[in-house]
Amino acid sequence: IGGASFFFSYLVLLGLVPMHIGLLYAVIVEAPLASVALFFIGLILGWWAAYTFFRGQTSVLIHEYKHAILSTLMGNRWKGISLKGMSGTFRYSYTKETARYNAFISLAPYFLPIFTFTGIILFLLISYRSPEGALVVAGLLHGADLYFHLKDVSPIQTDLTDLVGGYWVGVGYIASANIFVSTLFFVWAVGGSEGLSLYADSLWKMGEYLVALVRAVVIP
């Protein structure tokens, strides 16, 4: 399982991750300490709540539904989900056109931020009345996502071992995708409009650097 689309997205993530880490540091330094603390308190609470209350087959079902959600979004036909003890299987049919997305579907439980999407909506609804509460809620739901993304990472997971390049390719992709999403979410939630402006400026500068690099290679 792999393909050009998967490995191209991998290269893009690897290129963006250093910039995202730099932005994370910049926002932590510039944002009010209370805002940073509230987000991370929520993050810890979310991880703890997911670990405490979503065990057993509930966590397996969430894992399989993430496969199903992304598969459906890619246009595949959902055949069903089966659970047996602490393992599960998602079955689907795909076409020649959608086969390129199978690697993303295989890794969906490890990066698809379904709880974070809910956190974005709740943040927007709550922030007008209680910016502090909105930060805690955003952190809490993202913390739950991070727990589910990382808890099943294992060398015995065929989601990872069936990829072209094997387990460590999968681990690298999962790490890169989660750093990308987590830092972007933090920059938006904690940094606000200034954080997004900083992000856009960083993207623009990276684009200028890439254009200059291509010109230097193509036009000696």
- Maximum average pLDDT range among 2-11, 151-160, 173-182: 173-182
Tell me the three-class secondary structure of 187-214, residue by residue.
HHHHHHHHHHHHHHHHHHHHHHHHHHHH
pLDDT band at 200 (very low <50, low <70, confident <90, very high): very high
Return all residues near 124 (Cβ < 8 A) that are at least 6 apart.
none
Q: Environment class of residue 107 by beta-carbon count within 10 Å: exposed (0-12), middle (13-18) or buried (19+)? A: buried
Give the mean pLDDT of the chain: 92
d(C-alpha 220, C-alpha 213), whole Å: 11
Q: What angle do the packed helices 114-126 and 167-218 form, to 10 degrees?
A: 70
Please state the rounded mean pLDDT for residues 56-60: 88
Among 102, 116, 112, smallest CA distance to 174 is for: 112
Q: Which two tokens stand for residue 59?
A: 């966590």
Say if CB 17 and CB 114 are below 8 A apart: no
The pLDDT value given to residue 219: 73
> What pLDDT, on a 0 to 100 scale, did the predictor assign at position 28?
94
- Per-residue confidence (pLDDT) for residue 220, from 0 to 100: 64
The proportion of the chain whose per-residue pLDDT surpasses 70, expressed as a percent, equals 100
Taking only the tens place, the pLDDT of each residue in 79-102 is 988 888 788 888 999 988 899 999
What pLDDT band is residue 119 in, cutting at 50, 70 and 90? very high
At 199, the pLDDT band (50, 70, 90 cuts) reads: very high
Q: Answer for the pair 108, 63: CB distance below 8 angstroms, yes or no.
A: no
pLDDT at position 190: 95
Q: Please give the pLDDT value at position 78.
A: 85
- Whole-angstrom distance, CA of residue 142 vs CA of residue 76: 27
The predicted structure's pLDDT at residue 181: 96
**Which whole-number Å values give the CA distances from 204 to 115, 180, 200, in the listed order?**
30, 17, 6
Band of the pLDDT at 216, cuts 50, 70, 90? confident
Query: For 158-185, what is the mean pLDDT?
Result: 95
Q: Is the model's pLDDT at 55 over the cut of 90? A: no
d(CA 101, CA 218): 32
Ramachandran region, residue 164 (left: φ > 0; alpha: ψ -120 to 50; beta: rest): beta
